Amino acid sequence: MSVVLQVAVDAPGLPPLDYSAQAPLAPGTLVRVPLGRQTVSGVVMALVPQPDATRLAALRPIAAAHTALTPLAPAWLDLMQFVARYYQRALGEVIGAALPVQLRNRKPGEGTAAPPQSSNTSYRCTAAGLSALPGQIAPRSVALWRLARALGVAEAGETPAASTLPCLSLTEARRLHPHAVKVLADWEGSGWVEATAAAPVSSNLAASAAAPTLHPEQAQAVEAIAASSGFSPFLLFGVTGSGKTEVYLHAAAQVLQREPEAQVLVLTPEINLTPQLVGRFEQRFGAEHLAVLHSGLSEGQRLRHWLAAHSGAARIVLGTRLAVLASLPTLRLIVVDEEHDPSYKQQEGARYSARDLALWRAQQLGIAVVLGSATPSLESWRAAQTGRYQLLTLKQRATGVLPRVHIADTRRDPTLRASGTLIGQTLDAALRQRLARGEQSLLFLNRRGYAPVLSCPDCGWMSDCPHCDAHLVFHRTDRTLRCHHCGYQAAVPRACPGCGSLDLQPVGKGTQRVEEALAEKYPEARIARIDADSTRRKGAAASRFDSVHAGEVDILVGTQMVTKGHDFQKVTLVAALNPDAGLFTHDPRGPERLFAQLMQAAGRAGRALPPQGDTPASTPEMLVQTAYPEHPLYRALVAHDYPGFAQAELIERERGGMPPFSYQALLRAEHRNIDAVVEFLAQAQQLAAPLGETLGVTVYPPIPATLARMADVHRLQMLIEGSHRGALQNLLSQWRAELTALRSRVRWAVDVDPLDF
């Protein structure tokens, strides 16, 4: 009996298409279908009931079906439909972004017949590995040899011990080699080992000696989460180090204990932070129950971890924003760590917010979702105030103390003006104290390179990017001028291109310049710099952080990369060198972000008080250098008063009719020809105006984007704003259809709930 299938095809901009098939296929089945002259992948969305014969005859048949893969669950298909609808993208595109490339590109029968029943957590040596590894490992690499032997590899001359090769679990491997995960991944990449099915799930996941006894506030939080039923959003509000992660771990353990088949999704904003978090979950639950999803995985790894989640073998799925789109058939709890972090918002394609989708999934499934932060988004804070989310508060640090925040007034600092180094008097004294005591200091500023611009004092020439509306940043180490937006690079000119003067001056300060100033001022200090330049090489960031942890660094200087997540035990001083720019951005979320960043940075100090022999340890301290010491944001920071800050910001937002008191969308448009963009947006405005009128949605005129020209492409945007989500959505779907019909050559996209302007 032939049937008609509605298939979401993996091709940009197309709605689901109809195909015929010999037999019914369950919705959620992965198929390959002809499209034009190509064959593309797709997912069956629905079966069309009782098609008539002429209709059937007119349709092209599907090329193949992946019947061996368990069909994607209806709840997952609903999620995809929602993402497509809400974020105004084609369904096939959304599904394409959610599925691993290797799954989409596979032909049926090619491996999918037996999806690995577990996460990537046990390894076995391949024949290639048996012969290659002995030649690859130096005889004195003891740890590597331990690992190799455990895999059955024999040293040259030895005969293999057993006829069948042993299977080594990751948990076991980590005991043999501290970087076993990386080593095995490398070996796997070379084809020397292969991942195999992992050990069976142990009956008691929570049984672990590593778990500390919870503090009363933590216990209450875990209790509240465990006792909840149905859709239950929680806001876990606690300063850095207050033990939020410990709450996640216990809440996850409770869920897994109650229901052996359950799955827990844990989202983390930064790929750089995942290893730490993964480490803690592995230690508690065992690596074999974990799957990890983030953009740093190879395609093969991504497929394996995705399948582990999809098959239900992975109990805990940990990942960055894309993990929120994973197929999780038995999902019972979602955790969003650092829920305020802007990197939860995808910035291209379907511009979804993983935080918001986490809430949507929790609501869909009727389960608990825990949003954790020391500085919640104003949306979450308001939701907690109005009772939509349940507020759980951790007031104290679990270990160590919170740093005291001091404001250093740069206006009254003669050294700053004279030297122009960004190291003021107060900071200098504080640094010297740390150096004398063998403690570490962490300095940060949001500018990499040496100086943000090179300028000629004689004629006013400035180093501007020829392709962007931005300055070229002066990098002293290799004497280049670089555009941080488009990547354009040029050698530093010998003389001013404007007037020929030889006296070109760096203006402003970047991390390289501060590093240089520090080296001059404190010749005895060991200084390290961490920013996008110093960590470009793979593994460079990790190795630099390692040397900080190992106590091989006295002063660490860097961009905001250094302020996030790391648990530095010996840091007792954190300084924000010039955060004031964040006070006065055109971005309405500027203050919120600055406050979050400074609180986060403060959290790097005083994680533990190191015993220092005879010298007393310094009181952990955060120093903020500013020309606006009276600013309410800094006052709130000194008082560690997030609630006060949030309250004040919310009043401003309400007054301005801004989110969370309104809903917004941006139409972004770009093209090399600026006239084309202007014309397109004028049409767009004309189309939107009547819709806005009837739906009660405000349509603002087009304006240039913050970076109005990037890589010779002109960028403009227009804002749509309404007080009801539904009305805004109505406008968007109609408007998008009309915009598509214009068939403009301009590149455009709708950004719903935009974070960046």
> According to CB under 6 A, which residues from 376 to 405 bind ligand ADP?
398-399
Binding Zn ion (rule: CB under 5 A), the pick from 66, 215, 361, 485 is: 485
Is residue 184 within the footprint of ligand ADP (CB under 6 A)? no
By a kind-dependent CB cut-off of 5 to 8 A, residue 176 interacts, out of ligand ADP, Zn ion, none, with none
Do the annotations mark residue 125 as ligand-binding?
A: no
DSSP-derived pairing of the beta strands 703-710 and 473-475: unpaired
Give me the least distance between CB of 461 and Zn ion, in Å please. Answer: 4
Instruction: Specify the residue, 418 or 550, whose C-beta has the smaller distance to ligand ADP.
Output: 550
Is residue 600 within the footprint of ligand ADP (CB under 6 A)? no
Which has the closest alpha carbon to 377: 351, 345, 339? 339
Instruction: Specify the residue, 245 or 559, whose C-beta has the smaller distance to ligand ADP.
Output: 245
Q: List C-alpha distances in Å: 485 to 471, 676, 707, 710, 755.
A: 10, 23, 9, 7, 19
Provide the 8-state DSSP code for 649: H
Instruction: Specify the residue, 150 or 398, whose C-beta has the smaller distance to ligand ADP.
Output: 398
Residue ranges of the alpha helices (H) in 120-179?
127-136, 142-150, 170-176
Is residue 218 within the footprint of ligand ADP (CB under 6 A)? yes
Is residue 242 within the footprint of ligand ADP (CB under 6 A)? yes
Q: Which residues of 610-623 are buried (b: 16+ CB within 10 A; e: fewer)?
A: beeeeeebbebbbb
Give me the least distance between CB of 113 and ligand ADP, in Å please. Answer: 42
Binding Zn ion (rule: CB under 5 A), the pick from 459, 639, 682, 737 is: 459
Binding ligand ADP (rule: CB under 6 A), the pick from 241, 452, 558, 610 is: 241
By a kind-dependent CB cut-off of 5 to 8 A, residue 198 interacts, out of Zn ion, ligand ADP, none, with none
Residue ranges of the alpha helices (H) in 438-493?
none
> According to CB under 5 A, which residues from 495 to 514 bind Zn ion?
496, 498-499, 501
SS3 703: strand
Count CB neighbours of 489 within 10 A: 12
477 torsion bin: left (phi>0), alpha (psi -120 to 50), beta (else):
alpha
Count CA within 13 A, CB hemisphere, residue 392. 27
Cβ proximity of 571 and 457 under 8 Å: no
Is residue 240 within the footprint of ligand ADP (CB under 6 A)? yes
Alpha-carbon distance of 44 to 8, in angstroms, equals: 6
By a kind-dependent CB cut-off of 5 to 8 A, residue 245 interacts, out of ligand ADP, Zn ion, none, with ligand ADP
Give me the least distance between CB of 439 and ligand ADP, in Å please. Answer: 19
Instruction: Specify the residue, 302 or 397, whose C-beta has the smaller distance to ligand ADP.
Output: 397
Instruction: Specify the residue, 65 or 465, whose C-beta has the smaller distance to Zn ion.
Output: 465
Rounded to 10 degrees, the C-alpha dihedral 626/631/637/639 comes to 120
By a kind-dependent CB cut-off of 5 to 8 A, residue 212 interacts, out of Zn ion, ligand ADP, none, with ligand ADP
Do the annotations mark residue 456 as ligand-binding?
A: yes
**At residue 579, what is the residue type?**
P
Cβ proximity of 340 and 376 under 8 Å: yes
Query: Of the ranges 72-80, 268-276, 384-392, 491-499, which one interacts with Zn ion (CB under 5 A)?
Result: 491-499
Q: List C-alpha distances in Å: 261 to 211, 292, 627, 662.
A: 22, 18, 56, 40
Give me the least distance between CB of 489 and Zn ion, in Å please. Answer: 10
Instruction: Specify the residue, 126 or 242, whose C-beta has the smaller distance to ligand ADP.
Output: 242
Alpha-carbon distance of 74 to 612, in angstroms, equals: 59
Q: Count the residues of the shown chain that bind ligand ADP, applying the rule CB under 6 A.
A: 15
Give me the least distance between CB of 608 and ligand ADP, in Å please. Answer: 8
Is residue 481 within the footprint of Zn ion (CB under 5 A)? no
Is residue 424 within the footprint of ligand ADP (CB under 6 A)? no
Contacts of 56 (CB under 8 A, 6+ apart): 2, 4, 20
Binding ligand ADP (rule: CB under 6 A), the pick from 10, 217, 246, 379 is: 246
Give me the least distance between CB of 52 and Zn ion, in Å please. Answer: 58
φ, ψ (nearest 5 deg) of residue 705: -70, 165
By a kind-dependent CB cut-off of 5 to 8 A, residue 214 interacts, out of ligand ADP, Zn ion, none, with ligand ADP
Is residue 468 within the footprint of Zn ion (CB under 5 A)? yes
Which has the closest alpha carbon to 376: 593, 180, 174, 523? 593
Give me the least distance between CB of 213 and ligand ADP, in Å please. Answer: 6
> According to CB under 6 A, which residues from 219 to 238 bind ligand ADP?
238
Binding ligand ADP (rule: CB under 6 A), the pick from 32, 215, 604, 653 is: 215
Alpha-carbon distance of 105 to 302, in angstroms, equals: 14
By a kind-dependent CB cut-off of 5 to 8 A, residue 244 interacts, out of ligand ADP, Zn ion, none, with ligand ADP
Q: List C-alpha distances in Å: 390 to 242, 386, 395.
A: 18, 9, 16
Instruction: Specify the residue, 465 or 718, whose C-beta has the smaller distance to Zn ion.
Output: 465
By a kind-dependent CB cut-off of 5 to 8 A, residue 82 interacts, out of ligand ADP, Zn ion, none, with none
Instruction: Specify the residue, 488 or 700, whose C-beta has the smaller distance to Zn ion.
Output: 488
SS3 195: strand
**At residue 576, what is the residue type?**
A
98 torsion bin: left (phi>0), alpha (psi -120 to 50), beta (else):
alpha
Is residue 214 within the footprint of ligand ADP (CB under 6 A)? yes
Q: Count the residues of the shown chain that bind Zn ion, applying the rule CB under 5 A.
A: 15
Is residue 628 within the footprint of Zn ion (CB under 5 A)? no
Cβ proximity of 662 and 698 under 8 Å: no
Is residue 486 within the footprint of Zn ion (CB under 5 A)? yes
Instruction: Specify the residue, 359 or 486, whose C-beta has the smaller distance to Zn ion.
Output: 486
Name the CA radius of gyration of the chain, rounded: 28
Binding ligand ADP (rule: CB under 6 A), the pick from 212, 460, 656, 657 is: 212
Which string of DSSP letters, residue by residue, matches 241-274? TSSHHHHHHHHHHHHHHH-TT-EEEEE-S-GGGH
Binding ligand ADP (rule: CB under 6 A), the pick from 92, 115, 116, 243 is: 243
Q: Where are the beta strands (DSSP E) in 485-570?
A: 489-491, 505-507, 527-530, 555-558
Instruction: Specify the residue, 318 or 486, whose C-beta has the smaller distance to Zn ion.
Output: 486
By a kind-dependent CB cut-off of 5 to 8 A, residue 242 interacts, out of Zn ion, ligand ADP, none, with ligand ADP
SS3 470: coil
Is residue 703 within the footprint of Zn ion (CB under 5 A)? no
Do the annotations mark residue 486 as ligand-binding?
A: yes
Alpha-carbon distance of 492 to 39, in angstroms, equals: 51
Query: Of the ranges 174-182, 241-249, 251-259, 578-586, which one interacts with ligand ADP (CB under 6 A)?
Result: 241-249
| End-to-end Cα separation, the chain, in angstroms | 54
- By CB under 5 A, name the binding residues for Zn ion: 456, 458-459, 461, 465, 467-468, 483, 485-486, 488, 496, 498-499, 501
Residues that bind ligand ADP (CB under 6 A): 212-215, 218, 238, 240-246, 398-399
Please give the annotated binding residues for Zn(2+), written as ranges.
Answer: 456, 459, 465, 468, 483, 486, 496, 499
